[in-house]
């Protein structure tokens, strides 16, 4: 399986990167091809909402010619896209949100009978870390993600939320959760 992971934390050795690293390690050990993208190093301009992308539903027709466009094209080539982000104020981080907004250009005719998507049938998954419990905190991010998967006509392959303190405190239990998650999303 071709997998891309979109890492939305600025911290390369933070909670999200550490857990994502364990997920990627296991996916690779399972024989999958994993391409990891560190979103903070990329130029991902905001979606303009111009709808020019709707003029050609056969390709990623976003008019913003930046790294975001390349990432969107990679999403159309991948069997699975894994979004990974810390929770920032009950949502995902800005670069994660930016690429999600730009994925507007992957879909045409949402809510209409001819709803079409360049990632139809592909898998998506979400890994989120946060400082507080899931309840009364992380639900909005997961709700929005699930709606996005419907927008994509995709398949929600799995979701994982991990309450964290500091990366050094991430223990074997979390590593096991990462391994189980990897098996689920690629299964
Ligand atoms: C600006 C900011 C906003 C945050 N908002 C939340 C929040 O709404 N809910 C939560 O549980 N944690 C929140 N946190 C904590 C982070 O999500 C948490 O520490 C996360 O594991 C950091 O991941 P990282 O090490 O990969 O950057 C916030 C942290 C920052 C810096």
φ, ψ of residue 65 to 5 degrees: the values are: -90, 80
**b/e map of 8-39 (b: 16 or more CB within 10 Å)?**
bbbeeebbbbbbbbbbbebbeeeebebeebeb
pLDDT over threshold 90, residue 73 = yes
What atom in ligand 1 is closest to the CA of residue 162? Answer: 21
Q: Atom 19 of ligand 1 has which residue's CA nearest to it?
A: 131
Predicted local distance difference test score (pLDDT) of residue 158: 98
Instruction: Give me the domains of the chain, ranges plus CATH numbers.
Output: 2-186 (3.40.50.360)
The strand pair at 2-7 and 33-38 is best described as parallel
Predicted local distance difference test score (pLDDT) of residue 105: 97
Tens of pLDDT, residues 97-146: 999 999 999 999 999 999 999 999 999 999 999 999 999 999 999 999 99
Find the helix or strand (DSSP H, E) in which 33 lies: strand 33-38
Cα(166) to ligand 1 centroid in Å equals 11
pLDDT band at 187; cut points 50, 70, 90 = confident
Is residue 9 within 8 A of residue 86, CB to CB? The reply is: yes
Tens of pLDDT, residues 7-33: 999 999 999 999 999 999 999 999 999
């Amino acid at each position: 399986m071709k997998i891309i992971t979109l890492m939305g934390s600025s911290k390369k050795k933070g909670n999200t990167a550490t857990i994502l690293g364990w997920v990627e390690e296991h996916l690779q050990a399972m024989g999958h091809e994993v391409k990891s993208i560190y979103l903070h190093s990329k130029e991902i301009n905001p979606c303009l909402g111009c709808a020019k992308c709707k003029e050609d539903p056969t390709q990623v027709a976003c008019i913003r010619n930046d790294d975001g466009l390349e990432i969107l094209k990679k999403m159309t080539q991948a069997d699975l896209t894994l979004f990974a982000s810390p929770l920032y104020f009950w949502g995902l981080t800005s670069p994660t949100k930016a690429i999600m907004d730009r994925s507007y250009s992957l879909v045409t005719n949402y809510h209409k009978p001819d709803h079409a998507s360049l990632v139809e049938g592909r898998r998506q998954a979400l890994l989120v870390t946060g400082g507080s419990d899931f309840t009364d905190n992380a639900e909005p991010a997961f709700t929005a993600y699930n709606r996005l998967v419907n927008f994509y006509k995709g398949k929600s392959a799995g979701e994982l939320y991990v309450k964290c303190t500091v990366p050094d405190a991430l223990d074997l239990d979390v590593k096991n959760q990462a391994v189980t998650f990897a098996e689920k999303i690629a299964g």
